Structure 1
Amino acid sequence: MGITGLADMIKEEAAEAVSSFPLEQYRDRVIALDASIAIYQFRMAMPKIVNRNGENISHLQGLFYRTLHLLENGIRPVFVFDGRPPDLKQPLLARRAEAARARRDAAEPHQAENLPRPLRQDCETLLAYLGVPYVQAPAEAEATCAALVKSGKVWCTATEDMDALPFGSLRLIRHLSSKRNCEVEEFSLPDILQKLEMTQEQFVDLCILLGCDYCGKIRRLGPKKALMLLRQHGTIEQILQNIDPQKHPLPDNWDLEGVRRLFLQPEVADPGQIRLEWRDPDLEGLVRFLAHEKYMNESRVCRRLQRWQEAQPQPEEAQPQQPVSPEAGRQRRLGEFFSVSKRAHPEVRGARARAQAGLRDRQGHILG
């Protein structure tokens, strides 16, 4: 859920803090992505893709295409996985689980919930083959993303939820996609605080009043009134002393201090202990995992990897040192690693062979 109505409020009250940029603007930047939110989008927003084993692999296809798209644009992604949800979030998760059972889709992961272990392991395996690092957060992924931004290890947080801002992420981008002309929306936390004339602590109070994942809302206190009262009185405690408790009753089990601590002093992975490294994708491993283990369409996998290869800058031509044999200089093909079944339809074999023949790295050898 994130923070109810926060994006709209910022656009109305602090419009200068929001910018739109083409994805190319983030070339050479490191971006931290909330893995659970991204995977939830792939599972729910994309058409369901079921392989021959009856597994829904839409999340793997989405993660594969989006990550390659980021890499092609010179962006270095790092995915952050949720840890144990805070105790204050358990009532919300229980309501979501009940709603899932009512819809008879309890097997599917839902936004901001821990991913089932097999699904998560598949995503980690895919990221490893893509050469992209991932981080395990001890609690909320957005909190660790924000800590990475504040430490300078990454440039911004990419997620659809606005929680990253009260957690302290200096920059948040939304609407990231694999579209060729993708434009993202960037929120600048320092600019938001300046335009709203608030401290980070007051901004957290505003997010609590708007509605968050960790507590209910004060009844009949809408966004405009909440902002007006906070500007006037400075803290939630002062607001409570100046509103009618009968008209604006507090929600049950309202732990204001506990929620504040979650935002201002969250449990996060120590950025100083995190080492981020990127490698070239393991092309052989990707085809083996996606096409041969998960039964994603092999021709599509190979074509997408070929596009990634063709987008890479070509190395400068080296001067030949001494003659080499034709066999030593021969470019190896993907078919040398994976034979084409003789029983496959000729058109399938042809498409597969054409895709495999073009899949070479920038030196002409398959990455192993």
Structure 2
Amino acid sequence: MGVALRPLLAEYKETPGWEGLGGVAAVDAFNALYQFLSGIRQADGAPLMDGEGRITSHLSGLLFRNANLIEKNITPVYVFDGKPPAFKSSTLAKRREVREHAADSWEKALKEGDEESARKYAMASSKVDAFVIDSAKELLSALGIAWVQAPEEGEAQSSYMAQQGDVTYAVSQDYDSLLFGAPELVRNITVSGKKRFRGKVLSVYPERLNLEAVLTGLSLTREELVQTALLIGTDYNSGVPGVGPKTAVKIVREGTFYDRIGESENAADPDQLIHYFLDPPVETSYNIENRSPDPDRVIDLLCGKHGFTQERVEAGLERFGAKKGQATLDAWF
């Protein structure tokens, strides 16, 4: 879910247009997979599945959304979460409860013939499990798209790679990447161009946030931005009751962070959390070399193993510049 910094960041968001986003993008893999699993569904909310009942919505998303990025001169590198830090356990437990409740509500809505509610609850029940992760990595490798395994938080790893200049920017729907020090965060590039909100269909455009511009505009250091987030509440702590974004900034500027953070119901040590954001565990040895797609391998995986129609997969591969039986695709890059 990330931290609720949106009200503070609105005036610093840029809408660069696709032509301004060329480069190498470190994509928060779990974030993207949840988007595919929740958004790519049938009318009643059921996910796409193969003949054996295995979910394939994420595989469809990875093929066609990545084709879209490649066409726009964006080279994605997917970064997968590792083991979550111990102080995230409470948040993860709450998310499991929400998913389980949504799954029960989805089943109930289906029985009642309420298709609109069924789809809403189905989207909220989406889960990234071992099969989703392993099959996603398998398809990315077949497509020649690099992926990196983070030791813990994927957003921390993406931010580190951006700091090192190995990628152009970090990609996530959440704002945590700024807390982890990503020089640039881009949102909305792995989602479709439309989304439903309160019964309406809205257009979605890429957004870019520059960390230096945010810190300068808010008159905060990065550590103070982290303190602001902790007062509001993050995936690692519950925040201080009654403290919203603007009040949190005021508290930090007044130098009373440590006085107020003690009012939080969460027992996590604030200094430990600050240190985690400023210096998180990351993998410093990684390979993000891009390769040509292997069309035969992609077709074997998607069509042979998961029942995709070959015509549809070949159409997707053509957008990568790849065709069945074609061994080298150096022109892709």
Q: Same fold (TM over 0.5)?
A: yes
Residue number in structure 1 paired with 2:88: 89
Residue 33 of structure 2 is aligned with which of 39, 54, 61? 39
Q: Which amino acid aligns with 1:65?
A: F
Q: After TM superposition, what 4+ stretches of structure 1 lie above 4 angstroms from structure 2?
A: 108-113, 178-182, 359-363
Residue number in structure 2 paired with 1:143: 156
Once the 2 structures are TM-superposed, how far is the Cα of residue 24 of structure 1 from its aligned partner? 2.3
Once the 2 structures are TM-superposed, how far is the Cα of residue 127 of structure 1 from its aligned partner? 0.5
Residue 16 of structure 2 is aligned with which of 14, 18, 21? 21
Residue number in structure 2 paired with 1:185: 207
Task: Tell me if 1:209 matches 2:231.
Answer: yes
TM-score normalised by the chain length of structure 1: 0.75
SS at match of 1:19: coil
Residue number in structure 2 paired with 1:195: 217
Task: Please give the residue correspondences for 1:285-296 in structure 2 after superposition, counting only pairs within 5 Å.
Answer: 285-296=297-308
8 A contact 1:65–1:178 mirrored in 2? no
Residue 282 of structure 1 is aligned with which of 269, 285, 294? 294
8 A contact 2:144–2:290 mirrored in 1? yes
SS at match of 1:302: helix
8 A contact 1:36–1:111 mirrored in 2? no
Task: Tell me if 1:300 matches 2:312.
Answer: yes
In the alignment, structure 1 segments of 5+ residues that lack a partner are 311-332, 338-358
8 A contact 2:169–2:186 mirrored in 1? yes
8 A contact 2:39–2:123 mirrored in 1? no
SS at match of 1:143: helix
Higher relative CO (CA 8 A, sep ≥ 6), structure 1 or 2?
2
The sequence identity of aligned pairs, in percent, is 29
Q: Which amino acid aligns with 1:172?
A: L
Residues of 1 paired with 2:220 and 2:311: CA distance? 54
TM-score normalised by the chain length of structure 2: 0.83
Task: Tell me if 1:117 matches 2:117.
Answer: no
SS at match of 1:21: coil
Task: Please give the residue correspondences for 1:320-331 in structure 2 after superposition, counting only pairs within 5 Å.
Answer: none
In the alignment, structure 2 segments of 5+ residues that lack a partner are 42-46, 107-121, 195-202
SS at match of 1:172: strand
8 A contact 1:127–1:134 mirrored in 2? yes
Residues of 2 paired with 1:304 and 1:360: CA distance? 17
Q: 1:81 to 1:110 in 2, by over 3 A?
A: farther
SS at match of 2:76: strand
The count of aligned residue pairs is: 301
Q: Which amino acid aligns with 1:122?
A: S
| Worse-matched range after superposition: 249-258 or 44-53 | 249-258
Residue 232 of structure 1 is aligned with which of 242, 254, 258? 254
SS at match of 2:249: helix
Which of these two proteins has the greater Rg computed from alpha carbons?
A: 1
1:34-73 CA distances to partner (integer Å, 9 max, x unpaired)? 0001001100122121221111100000011111111122
Residues of 1 paired with 2:13 and 2:309: CA distance? 40
Residue 186 of structure 2 is aligned with which of 160, 165, 173? 173
SS at match of 1:183: coil
8 A contact 1:40–1:111 mirrored in 2? no
Q: 1:211 to 1:252 in 2, by over 3 A?
A: closer
Residue number in structure 2 paired with 1:133: 146
8 A contact 1:36–1:112 mirrored in 2? no
Residues of 1 paired with 2:264 and 2:318: CA distance? 58
Once the 2 structures are TM-superposed, how far is the Cα of residue 183 of structure 1 from its aligned partner? 3.4
Q: 1:262 to 1:109 in 2, by over 3 A?
A: farther
